[in-house]
Amino acid sequence: MKIISGTSNLQLAEGIAKGFGTNLVDVDISTFANGEKRIWVKESVRGEKIALVQSLSHPTDEHVIELLLLVDALERLGARHINVIMPWMGYSLQDKVFREGEPIAAKVVANLVSNSYVTRAFLLDLHNSSTPGFFSIPTHHLSAIELFVSYVQSHLSKANVIVASPDFGGLKRARVFAEKIGSELVNVDKHRDLATGKTQAIDVSGDVNGKIVVVFDDVINSGGTVINTAELLKARGAAEVHFFATHGLFADNGKAKIEASVIDSVIVTNSVPTMPSGETPDTSSKIHYLDSSQLFVDALRPWLE
């Protein structure tokens, strides 16, 4: 059994390796002068069951190619099984066609992975629960909901907590979360501009006055929904607003925007690195990360040992 990582999320990969009591496979990943990736797996993996960790986060296209090259290198070295762990599946938000002429990008990525030498894929809290159906290999769709349930039980006053879905599409997910922590559920009505993709929270169906509102979602992209939803809920009398999401992408200077907003806290997992390469250390007092490595260790164990 071997654990190997691309460059996208070494922190999480190291946590998974630690959970198995091993170290990451030594691999050299560099870039040629013309911008092409250069991959060199420096250890023998012949006959081994492999867990390859790679979040398809920014720069997404670069990390997709890196993943495919790593898979090819492992297959050529004689790996027995290659299990790919994609904590964040890039392009997964593009899971349907809104306008004629658009691709289903999530299916394109699924096809790329399925048509390589990957044996099975492990995915975490996809935006659309039907997305694993795009793969033609076995997939395991994991959930981080229990991490958030434990956080609420440890850090927030249960008696005054109410759960909110940031839009109609997330109601089912938020309802499950509300049931697990024994809270009521309200919904935020949101309008999306199909041309720009931008959203605007316009109303709340339910009473949040004086409540600690936990907004539960799958992903934070640029943080616009976080900020807009928090402003609306605070205007309706919410005492506190905390935003929970499995994936924190924080594109377009999202961290700084959230820090300057009225939101009280943002809780995400480390499916995307807490400090991507090239960024300065995270000093945000509002953004907190939960370690998801044990989720993957538990899911992988039957297939690696």
**Cβ contacts of residue 117 below 8 Å, gap of 6+?**
71, 72, 74, 75, 79, 82
Distance CA 248, CA 223 (A): 9
Cα–Cα nearest to 220, from 243, 193, 188, 187: 243
Distance CA 229, CA 226 (A): 5
Distance CA 162, CA 207 (A): 9
180 has catalytic annotation: no
How far does Cα 305 stand from its chain's mean position? 26
b or e along 19-37 (b: 16 or more beta carbons within 10 Å of the residue's beta carbon)?
bbeeebbebeeeeeeeeeb
- First CA to last CA across the chain, in angstroms? 7
**Cβ contacts of residue 195 below 8 Å, gap of 6+?**
none
Determine which one of 18, 96, 158, 190 is catalytic.
190
Distance CA 52, CA 27 (A): 12
Q: Are 159 and 184 in contact (CB under 8 A)?
A: no
Catalytic residues: 190
